[in-house]
Amino acid sequence: MENCVAIVEISNTSVRVIIGGSIDGEPAIIQKAERQISGLISRGEILDEQKIVSILSELKDIEDEKTHLIYELNDVTLVIPPVGLEIYESEKSTLVVSPSSIVDKLDISNVISLVQKEPIESDKVIVDIIPDYFKLEGERYFLDPPVGETSNSVYVHAKVHVMLRKYADTYRRLLESAGMRVRRICVSPNALSVYAHKHGVSKDYLLVDMGAQITNITLVGNNAPIVTTHILVGGNDLSFAIAEKFNCSVEEANKLKETFGKFEHELAFKPSLIRAVNAEGVETDYYNEDLDHVIDLFFRDNYFKQIDNALMTMLKDYPPEVLKLPLVVCGGFSKLRGLEKLIKEKYPEQEIIFLNSDVLGVRHPKYLPLVGGLMCATHYKGALSDQKNRVNNIERVDK
């Protein structure tokens, strides 16, 4: 396995880690771990840094239950939500250093460093630079760094990912306080677009990442994020709506949501899903049709309306046909039973694609940002993090 690396994601509800690399250009996972942090982050706002650091410290050393090897996480790639993400384009060029005019990684580093020097506001920071393409003399274009080619100059066209400094620094500080060095920050839409491109999704689409507390919406063009926004609604809000309707605990509501979702089959026998005391104080049985009704109302009167408003605002300066691009749906909330039918009924003129992981060991869509982050970390693209000295970021220790 080539380039064994660790990828860490801090979401609103959990911390996830995967350790893996690349086999014949495909992502391969050798270890994964997850810890719940519900209540410690609220819709992107970190409420208790100390507890999150404590949980991250537990993940610093991950033991393989079969081999009893301990994987020590030193350098990591951090995947974070795109809250406040701004994406700019930059064009830079530089002369090739070598007298023989052979392009070296040093030349790629030099031209990317020119992009990194782009002036930005003092309260913001460049978290990543993603080359769209390189160009050499003779109008020769390359998607990957043209190392070994001959040219007197190197030109790059790149996407620059900018976030609020305090936001990026806070996430970085969490990991560094737990003893991990952050080698790269990768925003989740970029990781997801890398995975989608590898798996044949068309190059232009609207990406809808349905999380527990936040839904991120991104316009992807030519396989790269162009602009992104979010709504403060997710799977947890549906659980709250079910709990309110059925007068039950959020835990019970969440179980109903995950077990049944919107039931798609007609049954001759209709068992009660839950018995609870209603608003009038009467003990009541609730059935599939009652749960379906809550789910229908949630999406019709709340979720879809917020998505439509977010799309209209985000795309107000783009041609109207952009709104008709395929919808690529992913995220943990996308596993809701019956969701595909709901979305297709709401957007009948658009192609709907549900993005799922096909990587052994991490097939749930909640792992997709990490798998995409792994693909970014194991492929030399000339990105910002590729300019740093590569070190072994995983150490295996016999127990």
Does residue 384 form part of some domain? yes
Residues 77 and 91 in one domain: no
Q: How many helices (H) and strands (E) does the chain have?
A: 10, 21
pLDDT tens digits along 182-210: 999 999 999 999 999 999 999 999 999 99
Q: What is the percentage of the chain residues whose pLDDT exceeds 70?
A: 94
pLDDT tens digits along 132-167: 999 999 999 999 999 999 999 999 999 999 999 999
Residues 136 and 281 in one domain: no
Residue 245 vs residue 279, higher pLDDT: 245
Residues 43 and 71 in one domain: yes
Which structural domain, as residue segments, surrounds residue 14?
2-83+166-201+357-398
| CB atoms near residue 290 (< 10 Å) | 18
Buried b (16+ CB within 10 A) or exposed e, 313-333: ebbeeeeeebbebbbbbbbbb
pLDDT tens digits along 58-102: 999 998 888 888 999 999 999 999 989 999 999 999 999 999 999
Kindly state the tokens that stand for 319: 């041609």
- Backbone angles phi and psi of 97, in degrees to 5: -75, -40
Give me the CATH number covering residue 133: 3.30.1490.110
Number of structural domains found in the chain: 3
Does residue 276 form part of some domain? yes
Residues 32 and 170 in one domain: yes
Residues 146 and 112 in one domain: yes
Q: Is the pLDDT of residue 265 over 70?
A: no
Does residue 217 form part of some domain? no
The mean pLDDT value of the chain amounts to: 92
Residues 157 and 184 in one domain: no
Q: List strand residue ranges (DSSP E) for 150-302, in order.
A: 153-164, 181-187, 205-210, 215-221, 224-231, 274-277, 283-286
Residue bearing tokens 């691009």? 325
Q: Is the pLDDT of residue 379 over 90?
A: no
The amino acid that residue 341 corresponds to is K
DSSP string spanning 140-168?
EEESS--TT-B-SEEEEEEEEEEEEHHHH
Q: What angle do CA 351, 352, 356 make, to 5 degrees?
A: 140
Last residue of a domain, one of 135, 164, 193: 164
Q: Is the pLDDT of residue 279 over 50?
A: yes
Which range among 1-5, 18-22, 43-47, 372-376 shows the weakest confidence by mean pLDDT? 1-5
Kindly state the tokens that stand for 327: 């919808």
Residues 345 and 262 in one domain: yes
Give yes or no for a contact between 292 and 260, defined as CB atoms under 8 angstroms apart.
Answer: no
- pLDDT (average), residues 116-145: 96
Report pLDDT for 390. 43
| CB atoms near residue 162 (< 10 Å) | 19
Residue 264 vs residue 325, higher pLDDT: 325
Give yes or no for a contact between 4 and 374, defined as CB atoms under 8 angstroms apart.
Answer: no
Residues 283 and 321 in one domain: yes
Does residue 210 form part of some domain? no
pLDDT tens digits along 17-54: 999 999 988 999 999 999 999 899 998 889 999 999 99
Report pLDDT for 64. 84
Does residue 27 form part of some domain? yes
Question: Would you place residue 388 in the very low, low, confident or very high pLDDT band (cuts 50, 70, 90)?
Answer: low
Q: Is the pLDDT of residue 263 over 80?
A: no
Residues 320 and 382 in one domain: no
- Backbone angles phi and psi of 332, in degrees to 5: -60, -35
Question: Would you place residue 251 in the very low, low, confident or very high pLDDT band (cuts 50, 70, 90)?
Answer: very high
Residues 77 and 172 in one domain: yes
Give me the CATH number covering residue 233: 3.30.420.40
Does residue 221 form part of some domain? no
